[in-house]
Structure 1
Amino acid sequence: MNTTQPGRLERFAEACIRRRAYVTGIFLLVTALMLVAALRVEVRTVFDDLLPRSHPYIQVHEQYKHAFGGSNVVSLVLEAEQGDIFNTAFLNKVKTVTSALQRVDGANQFQIVSLASRKLKDIRGSTEAIDSSPLMWPDVPQDAAGLNALKQAVLNNPLVYGAYVSKDLRAALVTVDFYEGSADYNKIFPQVQAIADAARGDGVRVRVTGEPILYGWVSHFLPETLHIFVLTVGCLVLLLFIVARTWRGTLLPLLAGLSSAIWALGAARLLGYNLDPLVIVIAFLITARAISHSVQLVSRFDEELAAGADTPRAAARASMLQLFKPGMLGVVADAGCMVVVVLTPIPLMHKVSIIGTIWVMTIALSACVMTPVLLSWVRDPRGHAHRLDLGPALDRILGVCVRSATSHWRYAVLAGAVAVFAVSAWYATRIQVGDAQPGSPILWPDSTYNQDAAAINRQFQGADRLYAVFAGHQPNAVKSPEVLASMAGMQRYMAAQPEIGGSSSIADVIPMVRRVLNENNPRYQELGGTAQENGELMYMFVSGSDPGDMARFTDAQARNASVTFYFRDHQGDSIRTAMARLKEYVDAHPLAQGTYQLAGGLVGVLAAVNEVILAGQIESIALALLVLVLCCAVAYRSVTAGIFFMVPVILSNTITFSYMAWKGIGMNLSTLPVAALGIGLGVDYAFYIVDGIKEKIAEGKDLRMATVASLLGAGRGVVVTALTLTTSVVLWCASSLRFQADMGVLMAIWLFVSALSALFIMPAMVLVFRPAFIVKRAGAGSAAGERDIAMHPVPEA
């Protein structure tokens, strides 16, 4: 045992072991209290948490969402399996669905639009008058003549044909918007699904999409997620039990992970935070860190016993004393990398950052303190729980590590690491900000939701909306011919983008009214020549409609108006292209009557989120690396140490990011906190290896022999942790949520690459570059080291 540790740390370790009953009792009491709070944590998605409220797009969205539509639009499509939709039975189902949506919790009654609503009008008129009446309200046509008349009215109405009735006349669209402040996805999802299920059958297929439905599916799969979580933990228990061969090596790491989770979830409840189902993967990731630290302590405990420690108490004290510094350094580094996420101006990221930081910090107590305290109570430290011994296999793995570090192969290892870094760093630049593929990346491409979304986007203009708002300087500004021409021009300009399936604005309504007023002569389907004429045409349309019918186009004072675009996907590139084109058009077409404000709707919200992530991604990664450098520099009193430990971090992250780019996993709200925590995740193993080398040097060993001893000691804990955790997280690939499966693979990659870096690259770097913060206390020289190696032969590979 090293006797040169600081006095305060020695006294702390001795006090914890000597007063272990009090320490354990207080820990269990607080854990029980936190468990009571943890059991009351709500597991749900809050849409407001996803919005970066300081972003200009979100401010526009919040200001106009009640008039022009929010981002919680749900689209239901009723599709006839044979023939067209113009039969009484099918249209009755459209009417039933439309009426039923009015009773769904949080539905905006004024934003329910379908053939059976009062919003879609049949405009008729002559030179003296104009009549605007609902297409199919309040009753469904009962005879062939009525059905044919409805069909002709739909075909002659560009605001309906293609928008709410498909071009092939085989599908009808029903849309409903939900108030964002009161939208409870856990209530909306089952109610809308029940409506859709009731409408299915009798030759009618129903498809449903929208953010409330998407996150409803996430909640729907929550029981499965919990089952996978339990199965993963069970697999982890089994693997630890097989490898460790002791109950202490199995149960104490799990107790460390479980108690950390209880403390963190209890803190979340006390702070009033909910648990988003999508961050459960992050929960497992942090729990894995607790398990990793605890495994290192158990392994060190076994080493102390093998080295001749008198009692379990002495071995536990020595383990705590020797590993407290690297353990705490790993905890502080992880917490520091997690806390930088709070700089992302999104409430969900704030919550994830705060709770994640608390969660990581609890590892200092649950693993670094409580594991050695509980180890001090072990009664039969040299017994084994089963006869299967994987020790020789682990020795062969460590033998490969030792031989690669102590032979000329270490230069090949470093050269290979440089080559892998260069290739992975280059490919990682292809990672996309935002969604990288059509449909939702949260679910699998063949999921019901993504299949429905693809069908709706194929049959109609697009399920996702973006709107630009013309904000006039004074009332009636919208009536100006220049303003209306500008809006129409914007629609034509944006139509060139393939991802935009259509658009609508008041500039579409006025020409249609003018044509009807002139006996349906196509020559008159154009905007009025003066503001007064446009005002009269708008008045004629409004006078024959119901209150609120014009609200989705312009306000009552004709001061503000929307131009709405319908997107067939919300991939990051599609959104960025659209926003760039919109800004380009606005800059090129200034208006004296007002200005355009961007942007509302779901696509506007996603554009804001993507811009925030794009602006903060490099900043967050840079700050996380800076935190890591500072932690290492302070701990080892050397700036070189900070740079030294960046190597495994950067390598593990470039490889992971290149995998994300290869598999089309975008950097979005779901993956950002995982990526930030991955900065710290890539360095924990290296701390234990390097600190083990320093410890052996302090005992008088040569650098080369110290490296061998560290690999055979701390390296065993790294191998055990990496194998058990990597194997366990692969079970997430069975999840019905693609996001969780992808994050499971990413965690496995991070853990595996981090372990390889600690076992191969770090020892090679130590022996090649001989950094001063490690070797400054080296002993007599290499000759002693060679004799030491001869006395302690390396395990055969």
Structure 2
Amino acid sequence: MLNAFAQWSIRHRRILMALTVLMTIGFLWSATRLEIGTEFSDLQPSGHSYIDTNNRFKAGFGSENLVSIMLEVNEGDLFEPDVLAAIKGITDGLRKIPGVNPLQITSLASKKLKSIRASTYGIESQPLMWPDLPSTPREIAELRSQVIGNPLVHGRYVSRDLTAALITVDFFDHLIDTESLANDVKQLTEPYRSPTLQVRVVGEPVINSLVLQKLPETMRISLAIVGAVAVLLLLAMRTYRGMLLPLTAALVSGIWALGIVSLLGFSLNPLAIVISFVVSARALSHAVQFTSAFEQERLAGNLEPESAAVAVLSKLFRPGMLGLATDAGAILVVAATPIPFLQKVALIGTIWIGVMLFCVLTLVPLLLSWVNAPVERARVRVYNRDTNALMERGLSRIADMVNHRRGPAVVLGACVLLMLATAYYAQGIQIGDASPGSTVFWQDSEYNQDAAAITQRFLGADHLFVAVAGDEPDTLKQPAVLQHMSDFQREIGLFPEVAANVSIADIVRQVNVSLHEGNPRFADIGKVPEINSELIYTYLASSDPGDIERYADTDYSNGAIHLLLTDKRGDTIRNTIARLEDYITDHPLEGAQYQLAGGVVGVIAAVNQVILSTQVQSIALALLVLFLFCALAYRSPQAGLFFLPLVLISNLSTFAFMAHYGIGLNINTLPVAALGIGLGVDYGFYIVDRVRERYLVSGDLRNSVRFALATAGRGVLITAATMITSMLFWFAFSSLRFQAEMGLLIALWMAVSALTALVLIPALILMFKPRFIVMQPPIEAKSTPPTDTAGSASFGDNKTVMCNPKTS
């Protein structure tokens, strides 16, 4: 059937090529309209209770779009006219940035921060520094005194040492302009920066905006990788077609995939750009195998291009299709994770791999069928001739090692020890971020330096809120509810991961203190709801609409306890959530319920929980897909088990590396883990099929292993060396840490996969002699391999292996 399909394809190659050109032009037009952008909502797990809580209350209590701006003086304190003017200027200017929620701008210069005083003239509730700035030394001294005496401000919006002030601002999801946000904030703050005043900015919207600003750099690195791949292919394949055809296959498949994605209305997230190179690597890998096999067919049988193309397509279509099907199935498993971003990545990756069934497995043989020039005339002479000899010697040494009497046992023993060691170290992998700050950027980046400075001054800038959902209006004025919240906050304050916390209970207690001339003995909740109502009313005197919304809704049925965490590492978030859940379970609240969890940390906590719960499931499903596809393709359950060790070694080695170097398993690295299932096994398919092919001719299993390493093994080496080198470009040149780490992980995965395919697969074949490889009787068994120097692949031991022209 495959031979008939191959002959039909080559016979109708002109029609197929014309259709390919027309479709490529159409998809190219569509791909040029593909949007590149990011939506934070895509990173939120659907159906998770934390996300439901966040979406229900984020409009008032603060969303994941919170941005923090810190002004820090180098000498003295911030109570200087120019520093106070800078605070006011930035606060007022934030209202002009697109997407800002004007009711969620809080700073020393906003109307929300107030001073409450009781005097003989009555009770006064006045903004600290609104609408006018203090203009005299006396007014500035009074402002300093009011700030120090107000625990809702001192330590939260003004640092304890009075050298820094914090401005927080929230953005509407549907109005935020992510692409221009970082530049807008920079333009606003730039006039106030000076040698004596530093301005630092952090927040998830800022991260996403900075990533978009790095797109030109990403494109430059991408072009450099394409150039490097072209040079490496030219040096390794030694023919122009060996360079151009794999690149053409990768380019056409990319155009088709991106065109289809654009037609479906999807956008390409910058976080997924490195993943696109992983998928493109599959196109290069299969194209290299086809091109190498084509040259071997022509050399072995002196065949015409059309005949050689038919032979290559009929022989390699099955392992190629099996490899692509495994890749598609493994990445499609990621779609089971209820995170829209990962579902889109899985769908895009599946589409991309799907189009390779034609753009690589069929298109490359079609193009090769027009290659009339002899292999010798097409050789490129700009390479070092020792490169090919070195490759042959290396493959020869591997063949000698595994063909040694004890070679398979030694290889298997070493692999078992490697699996045990990597499994032990892989247990330490971190779910979520493994380092403070943002893992998108390097630790010494400006953003992470700003985050560290804000954390140092204000003991945390990563926001989490616990919602208090009441059963009826005015629930938050009930003494029992407010006291329960106050006790909860006192317990929270003991958590080492929590830097600060605040709620409406703090407002009630602080107003009560102010009404009693600052006596801390009166920092209590009112005994009846009416007293608490009056205390809240006093705080809201001279307020704008929305000033209380950060702590309670308009009818006081729902409120929030706000927490600032020291960082958002996976362990920090996990420990905090666990402690909160334990307290809520052990201390039930009558008339209301605590609901976890909102804010950016609440969203990240939900993501981490989903990844933790689906990690084993996703890997197990991917392995099941591999088992089923292999069992069906080779019509043997034994084949389904045969390739699992390759995948396990690749996965465990990469996870151990991640654990050792502090790379967390998060939303960025999870797709790479799924793709690794396919990466770890593709190389093995070609090795196995070449062993089967040779065994049918010679009946000698060791000779068949040597032949497979000389032919398919060469393609494995070329592909692995090319892609490993190119992936390291991300690690060497990208200023985005997540891109660099993903490139490094992919390079490691490919290196381990290639090594296991070249060493472990032959060892398994020789040790266990699997029936799906040796079950068929050889067509032509000989005591010694055929010798025909025209079609031989020579090794260092002067033995030769070749393709029989009649069976090739």
**TM-score of the superposition, structure 1-length normalised?**
0.97
- CA drift of 1:545 comes to 2.8
Q: Does the Cα contact within 8 Å between 2:27 and 2:260 map onto a contact in 1? A: yes
Deviation readout 1:710-745 (Å, 9 max, x if unpaired): 111111111111111111211111200011111111
- CA drift of 1:440 comes to 0.8
- CA drift of 1:126 comes to 4.0
1:168 has 2:166 as partner: no
Give secondary structure in 2 for the equivalent of 1:523.
Answer: helix
1:385 has 2:386 as partner: no
User: What is the identity, as a one-letter code, of the residue corresponding to 2:170?
Assistant: D
1:237 has 2:236 as partner: no
Q: Tell me how far apart the structure 2 counterparts of residues 668 and 338 of structure 1 sit (CA, whole Å).
A: 16
Q: Which of 622, 628, 634 in structure 2 is aligned with 1:636? A: 634
Q: Tell me how far apart the structure 2 counterparts of residues 796 and 224 of structure 1 sit (CA, whole Å).
A: 49
Q: Which of 387, 402, 405 in structure 1 is aligned with 2:402? A: 405
- CA drift of 1:205 comes to 0.6
Give secondary structure in 2 for the equivalent of 1:666.
Answer: coil
Q: Tell me how far apart the structure 1 counterparts of residues 582 and 64 of structure 2 sit (CA, whole Å).
A: 24
1:577 has 2:578 as partner: no
My pick for the range that moved more, 767-776 or 553-562, is 553-562
Q: Does the Cα contact within 8 Å between 1:130 and 1:516 map onto a contact in 2? A: no
Give secondary structure in 2 for the equivalent of 1:307.
Answer: helix
1:263-662 matches, within 5 Å, as 263-382=256-375, 383=377, 384-386=379-381, 388=383, 389=385, 390-407=387-404, 408-662=406-660
Q: Does the Cα contact within 8 Å between 2:699 and 2:781 map onto a contact in 1? A: no
Q: Tell me how far apart the structure 2 counterparts of residues 704 and 304 of structure 1 sit (CA, whole Å).
A: 22
Q: Tell me how far apart the structure 2 counterparts of residues 275 and 433 of structure 1 sit (CA, whole Å).
A: 25
Q: Tell me how far apart the structure 1 counterparts of residues 191 and 266 of structure 2 sit (CA, whole Å).
A: 36
- CA drift of 1:198 comes to 2.3
CA separation of 1:136 and 1:313: change in aligned 2, threshold 3 A: same
2:181 corresponds to which residue?
188
- CA drift of 1:789 comes to 13
Q: Tell me how far apart the structure 2 counterparts of residues 47 and 35 of structure 1 sit (CA, whole Å).
A: 28
Q: Which of 14, 33, 43 in structure 2 is aligned with 1:21? A: 14
Deviation readout 1:547-594 (Å, 9 max, x if unpaired): 222111112211111000001210111111111111111111112211
User: What is the identity, as a one-letter code, of the residue corresponding to 1:394?
Assistant: M
Q: Tell me how far apart the structure 1 counterparts of residues 786 and 361 of structure 2 sit (CA, whole Å).
A: 35
2:703 corresponds to which residue?
705
Identity among equivalent positions (%) equals: 45
Q: Tell me how far apart the structure 1 counterparts of residues 312 and 787 of structure 2 sit (CA, whole Å).
A: 24
User: What is the identity, as a one-letter code, of the residue corresponding to 1:264?
Assistant: A
CA separation of 1:788 and 1:176: change in aligned 2, threshold 3 A: same
- CA drift of 1:199 comes to 1.9
Q: Tell me how far apart the structure 2 counterparts of residues 575 and 716 of structure 1 sit (CA, whole Å).
A: 47
Q: Tell me how far apart the structure 2 counterparts of residues 462 and 792 of structure 1 sit (CA, whole Å).
A: 64
Q: Tell me how far apart the structure 1 counterparts of residues 359 and 460 of structure 2 sit (CA, whole Å).
A: 51
Q: Tell me how far apart the structure 2 counterparts of residues 392 and 554 of structure 1 sit (CA, whole Å).
A: 75
Give secondary structure in 2 for the equivalent of 1:454.
Answer: helix
CA separation of 1:792 and 1:473: change in aligned 2, threshold 3 A: closer
Q: Tell me how far apart the structure 1 counterparts of residues 225 and 536 of structure 2 sit (CA, whole Å).
A: 63
Q: Tell me how far apart the structure 2 counterparts of residues 551 and 63 of structure 1 sit (CA, whole Å).
A: 13
Deviation readout 1:422-442 (Å, 9 max, x if unpaired): 111111111111101101111
Give secondary structure in 2 for the equivalent of 1:598.
Answer: strand
Q: Tell me how far apart the structure 2 counterparts of residues 677 and 606 of structure 1 sit (CA, whole Å).
A: 23
1:762 corresponds to which residue?
761
- CA drift of 1:318 comes to 0.8
Give secondary structure in 1 for the equivalent of 2:126.
Answer: strand
Give secondary structure in 2 for the equivalent of 1:224.
Answer: helix
CA separation of 1:787 and 1:232: change in aligned 2, threshold 3 A: closer
- CA drift of 1:539 comes to 2.0
- CA drift of 1:379 comes to 2.2
Q: Tell me how far apart the structure 2 counterparts of residues 336 and 789 of structure 1 sit (CA, whole Å).
A: 42
User: What is the identity, as a one-letter code, of the residue corresponding to 1:730?
Assistant: L
Q: Which of 16, 25, 28 in structure 2 is aligned with 1:35? A: 28
Q: Does the Cα contact within 8 Å between 2:38 and 2:208 map onto a contact in 1? A: yes
Q: Does the Cα contact within 8 Å between 1:299 and 1:717 map onto a contact in 2? A: yes
CA separation of 1:792 and 1:93: change in aligned 2, threshold 3 A: closer
Q: Tell me how far apart the structure 1 counterparts of residues 777 and 79 of structure 2 sit (CA, whole Å).
A: 88
Q: What 5-or-longer segments of structure 1 have no aligned partner? A: 1-7
Q: Does the Cα contact within 8 Å between 1:685 and 1:758 map onto a contact in 2? A: yes
- CA drift of 1:51 comes to 1.1
Give secondary structure in 2 for the equivalent of 1:363.
Answer: helix
Give secondary structure in 2 for the equivalent of 1:699.
Answer: helix
Give secondary structure in 1 for the equivalent of 2:466.
Answer: strand
Q: Tell me how far apart the structure 1 counterparts of residues 245 and 134 of structure 2 sit (CA, whole Å).
A: 72
Q: Which of 652, 655, 664 in structure 1 is aligned with 2:662? A: 664
Deviation readout 1:466-486 (Å, 9 max, x if unpaired): 111111111111112221111
CA separation of 1:202 and 1:731: change in aligned 2, threshold 3 A: closer
Give secondary structure in 1 for the equivalent of 2:70.
Answer: strand
Q: What 5-or-longer segments of structure 2 have no aligned partner? A: 799-808
1:5 corresponds to which residue?
none
1:211 has 2:208 as partner: no
User: What is the identity, as a one-letter code, of the residue corresponding to 1:569?
Assistant: D
Give secondary structure in 1 for the equivalent of 2:469.
Answer: strand
User: What is the identity, as a one-letter code, of the residue corresponding to 1:345?
Assistant: P
Q: Does the Cα contact within 8 Å between 2:710 and 2:793 map onto a contact in 1? A: no
Deviation readout 1:75-99 (Å, 9 max, x if unpaired): 1111112111101111111111001
Q: Does the Cα contact within 8 Å between 1:698 and 1:777 map onto a contact in 2? A: yes
Q: Tell me how far apart the structure 1 counterparts of residues 225 and 783 of structure 2 sit (CA, whole Å).
A: 47
My pick for the range that moved more, 755-764 or 491-500, is 491-500
- CA drift of 1:231 comes to 0.4
Q: Does the Cα contact within 8 Å between 1:402 and 1:794 map onto a contact in 2? A: no
Deviation readout 1:319-373 (Å, 9 max, x if unpaired): 1111000000000000000111111111111111111100011111111101111
Say what the alpha-carbon RMSD is for the aligned residues: 1.8
Q: Tell me how far apart the structure 1 counterparts of residues 589 and 73 of structure 2 sit (CA, whole Å).
A: 46
CA separation of 1:780 and 1:336: change in aligned 2, threshold 3 A: closer
Q: Tell me how far apart the structure 2 counterparts of residues 105 and 38 of structure 1 sit (CA, whole Å).
A: 29
- CA drift of 1:703 comes to 1.4
My pick for the range that moved more, 22-31 or 786-795, is 786-795
My pick for the range that moved more, 543-552 or 273-282, is 543-552
CA separation of 1:128 and 1:619: change in aligned 2, threshold 3 A: farther
User: What is the identity, as a one-letter code, of the residue corresponding to 1:716?
Assistant: R
Give secondary structure in 2 for the equivalent of 1:546.
Answer: coil
Q: Does the Cα contact within 8 Å between 2:698 and 2:782 map onto a contact in 1? A: no
Q: Does the Cα contact within 8 Å between 1:337 and 1:680 map onto a contact in 2? A: yes
Q: Does the Cα contact within 8 Å between 1:703 and 1:785 map onto a contact in 2? A: no
Q: Does the Cα contact within 8 Å between 2:696 and 2:780 map onto a contact in 1? A: no
Q: Tell me how far apart the structure 2 counterparts of residues 693 and 605 of structure 1 sit (CA, whole Å).
A: 50
Give secondary structure in 2 for the equivalent of 1:177.
Answer: strand
Deviation readout 1:62-114 (Å, 9 max, x if unpaired): 01001101011111111112111101111111111001110111100000001
- CA drift of 1:449 comes to 0.4
Deviation readout 1:208-235 (Å, 9 max, x if unpaired): 0000111111111111111111101101
Q: Tell me how far apart the structure 1 counterparts of residues 382 and 577 of structure 2 sit (CA, whole Å).
A: 65
- CA drift of 1:795 comes to 2.4
1:720 has 2:718 as partner: yes
Q: Does the Cα contact within 8 Å between 1:126 and 1:516 map onto a contact in 2? A: no
Give secondary structure in 2 for the equivalent of 1:102.
Answer: helix
CA separation of 1:524 and 1:110: change in aligned 2, threshold 3 A: same
1:3 corresponds to which residue?
none
Deviation readout 1:484-539 (Å, 9 max, x if unpaired): 11111111212222221100001111111111112222221221222222222122
1:74 has 2:64 as partner: no
User: What is the identity, as a one-letter code, of the residue corresponding to 2:313?
Assistant: M
Q: Tell me how far apart the structure 1 counterparts of residues 517 and 162 of structure 2 sit (CA, whole Å).
A: 26
Q: Tell me how far apart the structure 2 counterparts of residues 438 and 792 of structure 1 sit (CA, whole Å).
A: 54
